[in-house]
Amino acid sequence: MRQNHFLSPTLRDVPSDAEVTSHQLMLRAGLIRQTASGVYSFLPLGLRALKKVENIVRDEMDQAGAQEVLMPAIQPAELWQESGRWQAYGPELMRFNDRHNREFALGPTHEEVITTLVRDDVKSYKKLPMTLYQIQTKFRDERRPRFGVLRSREFIMKDAYSFDTNQAGLDESYDKMYDAYTNVFTRCDLDFRAVVADSGAMGGKDTHEFMVLSSIGEDTIAYSDTSNYAANVEIAPVIANYEKSNEELLELEKFSTPELKTIDELTESLAISKEKLIKAVLFIVDEKPVLALVRGDHDVNDVKIKHYYEAKVVELASREQTLEFMNCEPGFIGPIKVTPVVEVIADKAIEAVVNGICGANEKDMHFKNVNPNRDFSVKAFIDLRFIIEGDLSPDGQGTIRFAEGIEVGHVFKLGTRYSESMGAQFLDENGKTQPMIMGCYGIGVTRTVAAVIEQHHDDKGIVWPKEVAPFDIHLIAVNLKDSDQKDLAETLYSQLKKNGYDVLFDDRNERPGVKFTDADLIGLPIRITIGKKANEGIVEVKNRKTTEVFEVTIDQLTSTISDILATLK
Ligand code: ATP
Ligand code: MG
């Protein structure tokens, strides 16, 4: 591609509205432009990178035996009413009416459409298993679109759906997608983890999120420092053993604590460790009041409450609800003598507390020398708290550390959630009707491009991994008015293309400094510069990643290029 008439507008200054590096670089290097909030156009360089990722994804999907289809972005409301999601999906679903006032949505995902397709055309176990995928534009009216294409309202997703006759089949289809995702993100040279996640709202069982490690990530990952265990902090179980001290049990005593409401105020003023404190938090679990107890140095994980009760909604109680159920201001609530309406559950660590301190359900009052099972009872001691750094890894190997991650992919065992509500059934070997067992699998293709840049850049610009780079080589002639340089540049341009390389040829009439700055910003893996030594048949080759520069003769050029590419991912 010749750069002179190529739409690749570069910017010197950092755009003020772009907070994160990938967004800044995508604007500065001329990959994208914003059309509306959370809505972007891809310019040629950006589109080429996007297509590279798409092709990696397509290649890995095909190798995993999935079949490509293309479903419509426009989806009729009836399908969403059938699955029960027309209401449940909420304001993120972009809805509109046609000229006959029929309701539609722009697809944020395609479970409904694919389930009807397969339901209508697959009737027998003989056709199954089957995995279908598409690479297509999705629409989600995000509450906070941000970070450029990392969280936008219109984006490209690869979504795949598997259909099996039984659970073992689903496990196999899931594992194939899991492996394909591992290959995709490895080929994109991303430092990522497959993280066990919460299956919450979608009603399935197993689920993994593929997280690119990055400080701008919106999710926190708990991972082991020695094994490959990694989980979303929301879901990570705690397997600590809490040793009970053999201190003598002292007599329960109420004492006055005016102005001491928070854990810090209490521990400081009483000069005790947080481990002695029993923290009580009131939740409303599907309308039922539940008092959750954790140690003062821990935090209640509401996802664990939700799982324990198999509840739909878990919310912190308001002040009014606290007054109603505990008969006391928040800040002084505790587990002793609560009304039977309130169910008390406690984290396992509470069972080992000896002579602890808790709120007395009375303004400005606490109890000391509190001992569980003696002074109060609970429905159950369960794992109720968030894992923290320093905890034992749940797989028993190593210690937990935290990192932030960007979710680029998601694999999910749906089970019969959609096949049952939408009637996708097959006849088994015995002629019996059964619901299909489904899985769904998504990759944010546009988000992946941004995540690659987030992990691969330096202070001069993007440093593309080999397989995602929009072009392999940036060819620059320093002075095109010099006929030796111009001729050699033209010859090399056609030769390199003939040899199968994608070449961006900077044939612009710009100062060398501008060309070099742009080349670093655009960040193609190899730069070839034709300068004063053109008449001797000598050119300069630069490795963008290592910034090493070599002077080579034309004869050595091909081997130098393949040597450099061989060292790159
Ligand atoms: P998030 O928690 O980031 O909102 P999600 O759980 O809503 O993601 P999924 O429904 O699992 O996402 O969609 C599959 C993939 O699509 C995600 O893993 C992510 O890579 C991508 N994706 C989701 N929402 C967006 C968005 N607004 N912009 C860009 N990519 C997105
Ligand atoms: Mg989302």
Q: What is the set of domains in the chain, with CATH numbers?
A: 17-236+401-453 (3.30.930.10), 253-382 (3.90.960.10), 471-567 (3.40.50.800)
Ligand nearest to the CA of 444: 1
CB 273: neighbour CB atoms within 10 A?
A: 11
Asked if residue 457 has its Cβ within 6 Å of ligand 1, the reply is no
Determine if ligand 1 sits within 6 Å of the CB of residue 152: yes
Judged by its nearest atom, the ligand closest to the C-alpha of residue 92 is 2
Q: How far is CA 126 from CA 122, 428, 429, 431, in A?
A: 9, 8, 8, 12
Nearest ligand 1 atom to the CA of 108 is 10
The bound ligand whose nearest atom lies closest to the alpha carbon of 198 is 1
Instruction: For a ligand 1 pocket test, name from 235, 410, 445, 448 the mutation site with the most ligand atoms within 8 angstroms of its C-beta.
Output: 410
Average pLDDT (413-420) is 95
C-alpha to C-alpha distance for 312 and 495, rounded to whole angstroms: 64
**Ligand 1 in reach of 462 Cβ (< 6 A):** no
Q: So what's the pLDDT on residue 265?
A: 87
As a whole number of Å, the CA-based R_g of the chain is 30
pLDDT digits (tens, 9 = 90+) for 421-465: 999 999 999 999 999 999 999 999 999 999 999 999 999 999 999
Please, what sign has the CA dihedral across residues 444, 450, 455, 456?
Answer: positive
Q: How confident is the model at residue 205 (pLDDT cuts 50, 70, 90)?
A: low
Residue 388 has pLDDT above 50, yes or no: yes
The DSSP secondary-structure symbol of 150 reads G
- Supply the residue whose CA is at minimum distance from atom 12 of ligand 1: 410
Q: pLDDT tens digits, residue range 57-81?
A: 999 999 999 999 999 999 999 999 9
pLDDT digits (tens, 9 = 90+) for 215-235: 999 899 999 999 989 999 988
pTM: 0.87
Does the C-beta of 158 come closer than 6 Å to ligand 1? no
Largest CA distance in the chain: 98
Concatenating the DSSP letter of every residue in 298-313 gives S-B-HHHHHHHHT-S-
Among protein residues, the one with the nearest Cα to ligand 1's atom 1 is 407
Q: Angle at which helices 445-455 and 21-28 pack, to 10 degrees?
A: 100
* CB of 446 sitting under 6 A from ligand 1: yes
CB of 410 within 6 A of ligand 1: the answer is yes
**Per-chain mean pLDDT for the chain:** 95
408 touches ligand 1 (CB under 6 Å): yes
Ligand 1 atom with minimal separation from the 412 CA:
11
Return all residues near 77 (Cβ < 8 A) that are at least 6 apart: 86, 95, 102, 103, 104, 105
Does the beta carbon of 30 lie inside 6 Å of ligand 1? no
Query: Is the alpha carbon torsion for 223, 224, 230, 236 positive or negative?
Result: negative
Q: Which among 238, 383, 239 is positioned nearest to 304, based on CA atoms?
A: 383
